[in-house]
Amino acid sequence: MKYFVLTFLLFIAFFSVSFSIDPIRCQGVANGHLQGFDSDGKYIYWSTKSSLIKTDHTGKVIAQVTVTPHHGDCCIHKGRLYVATVEKRGNFVTVYDCRDLSHITDYPIDFGYDNLEGIDIDGITFFKGHFYVGEGKDPKSEQEFNWIHKYTPGFKHVKKIKIPGKTKYGIQTITYVDGFFWLGTYSNEKTYQCDKNFNIIGYHTVNISVGAYGLPRSKNGEIRLMVARNIKLGNDKWSADCVPAVLRNGKLEWEEK
């Protein structure tokens, strides 16, 4: 009974905060900009190039740890934070405990190629028993498509999925919200909206390339995303905030007051 009451109270708190239009400013400061973020309903987890930051839904820092660059997009699954990371020794999914951001383990990611030079790991999300991981691209690449790789929970490769589009650096962020995969890119289209099979059904100018997660639907039943934005402070010091966007008449737009 206590668990039910606590869960209900957390849901109410998250629901009320989620409908706030004012930006949530992360009060942490990091070397290097934001790469991705996610929420477990009670806390927000911000993944920067060199730090992981856990805040409440007012932006107050609960925990912050320095990490080995380069940390990218992240997602939460069963109380753990999974982060796409790039090191000199290769690509990894690095796992942290959501409670205190302590390191748990690393999963090597090779994408099945013999030569990984110039190919980095980028976006990551979890959906229906599998992780989906974005493959990066060389910024000078003329490749007219992108790859997303499907993995088991233990990061055994299942298959790769082709996503049309000439992007810079590939798929930067991935999240699954309300029946759709949302892909953040550094391309002109910014955000790809895909169905469950990764067929592209729309492009949006609202930029989710540094992170997004799902919010409760609007009072009119519209899909809503919390979208992160970088804040440059100078001297390679960065912070971030986030604001809600709503899918209205087929177009993702910033939610108005």
Condensed to tens digits (0 to 9), the pLDDT of residues 188-212 reads 788 999 999 999 999 999 999 999 9
| Token code pair at residue 135 | 């493959």
221-244 exposure pattern, b = at least 16 Cβ within 10 A, e = fewer: eebbbbbbebeeeeeeebbbbbbb
DSSP 217: P
DSSP 8: H
- For tokens 């934001």, name the residue: 34
Distance between CA atoms of 134 and 103, rounded to whole angstroms?
Answer: 22
Residue type, 135: E
Distance between CA atoms of 33 and 172, rounded to whole angstroms?
Answer: 13
Note the pLDDT of residue 21: 67
- For tokens 């060389």, name the residue: 138
Query: Considering all CA atoms of the chain, what is the largest pairwise distance in Å, rounded to the nearest integer?
Result: 58
Mean pLDDT by 10 residues, the chain (257 residues): 36 42 92 96 96 98 94 97 92 97 95 63 96 90 91 96 92 97 91 97 96 96 98 94 97 89
Task: Please classify residue 254 by burial: count the beta carbons closer than 10 Å to its beta carbon, then call 0-12 exposed, 13-18 middle and 19+ buried.
Answer: exposed
**Domain residues of the chain, as ranges?**
2-254
Note the pLDDT of residue 61: 98
Q: Which CATH number fits domain 2-254: 3.10.50.30, 1.20.1630.10, 3.40.50.1100, 2.115.10.20?
A: 2.115.10.20
| Token code pair at residue 115 | 């030569």
Note the pLDDT of residue 6: 36
Give the three-state DSSP class for 42.
Answer: coil
User: In sequence order, which residues have a C-beta less than 8 Å from that of residue 173 and are 6 or more positions away?
Assistant: 35, 36, 73, 122, 123, 134, 183, 184, 208, 209, 210, 211, 212
Note the pLDDT of residue 53: 98
Long-range contacts, 147-156 (Cβ 8 Å, 24+): 147/111, 148/123, 148/174, 148/183, 148/198, 149/109, 149/111, 153/77, 153/129, 154/107, 155/93, 155/107, 155/108, 155/109, 155/131
Distance between CA atoms of 70 and 253, rounded to whole angstroms?
Answer: 30
